Amino acid sequence: MSRAGVARGGGFFLLLLALPFFGLAHWVVNLLVFVLMFAIMASAWNLVGGFAGYPSLGHAAFFGIGAYSMALMFHGAALSSGYEPFVALPLIGLVGAVIGWPIAIISMRTRADVFAIVTITFLFMIQTLAFNVRSLTGGSQGLSLPVAPFPAASYERPFYLVLVAMLAVAMLLTFGAMRSKIGLSLVAVRADEDKARGIGVRVSGVKVLAFSVSVGLTAMVGGVWAYYETFIYPQFAVDPLITIAVVLMTFLGGRATLWGPVLGAVILEAGQQTLAYRLGGSQFYLIAYALVFLVIMLLLPRGILPTLEERIRLRRRARVANAPDTPGAARTADAGRVALAPGGRS
């Protein structure tokens, strides 16, 4: 952990904390709220899809589980301060992690595309339950939550600040994964799971742990979303497009990196929200998603940040190799002078 890295991280979060106090328009703060939501979910998905290499397509199911957990806890309740649902977020995250634990044990017996199929099947199963278990979810008629008693002039601000704190937690977990034995084990699993098991890595344990933490964070975001929207429907609470967006954001910014998912969320979600405001309720942003996916596959298969880091590293190496005061360059120059000298050998 370098001082420059700490300074960048501290400056980034100070800027985030200060943004809602700049007198921004409501639609801008609302846009930032959704950007933060997807940045957290992309960072959470990165633990499984980025570090472990297991491309989960079922995270939207846990988003819905968190949303309905929040709705069931506070449906018909009278809020005094409005912060009570935020206090319940750790419990919602625990619910998501506990549900995700057996799902991970079962689904992670498979790999790659089979794992993706298993997880998206779980997503559609949860969506079907949300439509049909009307006694809990309200079915297609939806389920309501109490409106937060926050001032109209700064209604979005408490949600925004809570999401900033959650993003900090998600990024700290990602940083820990990059600097810990667990993270090294996940990278070994992604590289070659059989060899990782052969050298003593507790493959099953680290995979299930990463999945549970990932879906727990996703459930917490779903809880914040439900409280923010105050009314939820199954087609929005358990939406496959949420998973698709999260996966694209992670791939766009760079898998298994700290800032990649955040960068991808800023680019894609800000663009999608802007198109929504300008074009209304149309689905044109799906075309943009398809174009972004093609760009990633063709030009940036490793993502923005890994590609830029590699190019910067190559330029630095070329600059060092061509510098006249480096040992290699000095030896080359001396050899050239000997070769050009009258008595020198060519």
Written as one string, the DSSP assignment of 118-149 is HHHHHHHHHHHHHHH-HHHH-GGG-EE-PPP-
Domains annotated on the chain, with CATH = 25-277 (1.10.3470)
The pLDDT value recorded for residue 316 is 87
Q: In whole angstroms, what is the distance from residue 56 CA to residue 120 CA?
A: 8
Mean pLDDT, residues 105-119: 91
144 forms beta bridges with 231
Query: Which range scores top for mean pLDDT: 47-51, 309-313, 318-322?
Result: 47-51
pLDDT above 70: percentage of residues in the chain: 91
Q: In whole angstroms, what is the distance from residue 139 CA to residue 129 CA?
A: 9
Q: Which residues contact 228 (CB under 8 A, 6 or more apart)?
A: 33, 159
Mean pLDDT, residues 189-203: 92
CA–CA–CA angle 256, 258, 264 (5° rounding)? 85
Q: In whole angstroms, what is the distance from residue 210 CA to residue 101 CA?
A: 10
Residue 346 pLDDT grade (very low, low, confident, very high; cuts 50, 70, 90): very low
Q: Are strands 143-144 and 231-232 parallel, antiparallel or unpaired?
A: antiparallel
Mean pLDDT, residues 215-240: 95
- Say how far residue 260 (Cα) sits from the centre of its chain: 8
Q: Which residues contact 23 (CB under 8 A, 6 or more apart)?
A: none
Sign of the CA dihedral running 235, 236, 241, 243:
negative
Sign of the CA dihedral running 237, 238, 244, 248:
positive
Contact 221, 43 (CB under 8 A): no
The pLDDT value recorded for residue 281 is 57
Per-residue pLDDT tens over the stretch 54-78: 999 999 999 999 999 999 999 888 8
Helix/strand/coil for 133: coil
Whole-model pTM? 0.89
- At position 73, the amino acid (one-letter code) is M
Residue 169 in tokens: 């937690």
Residue 251 in tokens: 């791939």
Residue 132 in tokens: 């049909």
The pLDDT value recorded for residue 342 is 45
Residue whose C-alpha is closest to residue 146's, from 89, 88, 92, 82: 82
The pLDDT value recorded for residue 326 is 53
Residue 283 pLDDT grade (very low, low, confident, very high; cuts 50, 70, 90): low
Q: In whole angstroms, what is the distance from residue 96 CA to residue 116 CA?
A: 19
Average pLDDT taken over every residue of the chain:
88
pLDDT above 90: percentage of residues in the chain: 64
Q: Tell me which H or E stretch contains 34.
A: helix 26-45
